Amino acid sequence: MKKSSNMLVAIGMAILIAVLSISPVYAINFHLKGEDGLISTADIDACQQAGDIAFNKLNAILADDMQAERSQYNKVRDNYAGSIIDDEGKLVVYISSDLSIMDSLRNELGGARINEDDIQFVQVQYSYEELEEQQSDMWQIRNKTMESKSDLEQWAKKIISVAINPEHNCIAVLVNSFDDADYLLCEQYFGDYSYEVETIAGNGEIQEHATTLKPGQPITTNLSLSIGFRCKLNGVAGFVTAAHTANLSSLPKVKYGSTEIGQVTAGKYDGKSDFAFVQITNSNYTVGLTTNTNPAYTLHASNYVVSLPTGYAVFMAGQNSTKVRAGKVLYYNYAISSGTQWLVCDYVSEPGDSGGCIFANVNGDHVVVGINDGRLVGIGTYGTKLTTMKGYYSNLVIY
């Protein structure tokens, strides 16, 4: 499988436009959340684990190195195989080559006061790019089999998703109600790939039912939704929310309460994403960058996350919470329908939170990751990533 010389986007690390300052190290135990899933601390800045901080510093070093005339970490980027934050809050980075290529980077991290115990490097077989290729191939096999109208269609329907599992350096085939014959079919069709089968509960179906507005506040189209984040598309001011329909032209005017504030002018609902851009048409209304939560958090306008490791702390502001909902990344590239680009997290969301902003604390800034779209039974909550949106609309800019 071919490796690219410029892997910074594909390697699955959060590369930012600028190298930002590092937050102090704190720890949080997400198992101490209330049953409603709300985070009870007064400051998200104090929520990052040691692994979050180590990831941020590693990201900053690689981003800075890429700008240098003589990059010394090209082999690191080319052989990156994913990363996780383990149950103890430590960062584990997987490399598909001899670990001696990490020696210089280890020393630089030590000089940046990252404890050796807070980051671990593990050698594996496949790079992240190779795993992405396997994931794409397997998902295509599954989808073509579903369209075959043969006896194999029922087997394919039991495959809910395929996702990259960096910890096991393979593709996780998430299934429901598999029997012995189904496992044999997996080996027949996926035997050339590195994979493991994971059984999940449920059937994986989506369940969703002149004023400054804020990310997370309620709006209505044909449904009750939440504001995601303020942005401009082609220089026109508005905000992003969920679409929940491919027929965007059928959507009525967007309202805040009983007042019309805008209209949907762009977006996608195609199996790879679920988002809509709302142009503000009521001059009495605008959208800010500060969330509707208490305490409120100001989103960073300049930078955005390219990728996050499994286990990274993320937060969601929707209309059903006075405090943000907190959780972790379960899968950064998850397959739903025809796409493998979805973000899946374990925070709790409710109907009406669709469109709410997902953000993360990266190097001390609250950076937009994407928007909340809905729930997957037995798995978690899924959303459309900002990187996916920008793949469709490169001139979508947070301001």
Is residue 68 in some structural domain?
A: no
Regarding beta strands 313-317 and 357-362, do their DSSP bridges make them parallel or antiparallel, or are they unpaired?
Answer: antiparallel
Reported pTM? 0.69
- Helix/strand/coil for 96: coil
Crossing angle (nearest 10°) for helices 128-146 and 180-190: 120
Say what the pLDDT of residue 379 is: 87
Considering its fold, how many domains does the chain have in total? 1
Is residue 185 in some structural domain?
A: yes
Local confidence pLDDT in tens for the 399 residues of the chain: 333 333 333 333 332 222 222 222 222 233 333 334 444 444 455 566 788 888 888 888 887 887 776 688 989 989 999 999 998 889 999 999 999 999 999 899 988 888 888 999 999 999 999 999 999 999 999 999 988 878 899 999 999 889 999 999 999 999 988 999 999 999 999 999 999 999 886 554 444 336 899 999 999 998 999 999 999 999 999 999 999 999 999 999 999 999 999 999 999 999 889 999 999 999 999 999 999 998 889 999 987 788 899 999 999 999 987 788 999 999 999 998 778 999 999 998 999 999 999 999 988 889 999 999 999 888 899 999 999 999 999 999 999
Is residue 320 in some structural domain?
A: no
Say what the pLDDT of residue 200 is: 80
Is residue 296 in some structural domain?
A: no
- Separation CA 156–CA 154 (nearest Å): 5
Say what the pLDDT of residue 202 is: 57
- Say if residues 15 and 306 touch (Cβ distance below 8 Å): yes
Is residue 69 in some structural domain?
A: no
Is residue 188 in some structural domain?
A: yes
Is residue 155 in some structural domain?
A: yes
Task: Quote the domain boundaries for residue 150.
Answer: 129-199
Is residue 166 in some structural domain?
A: yes
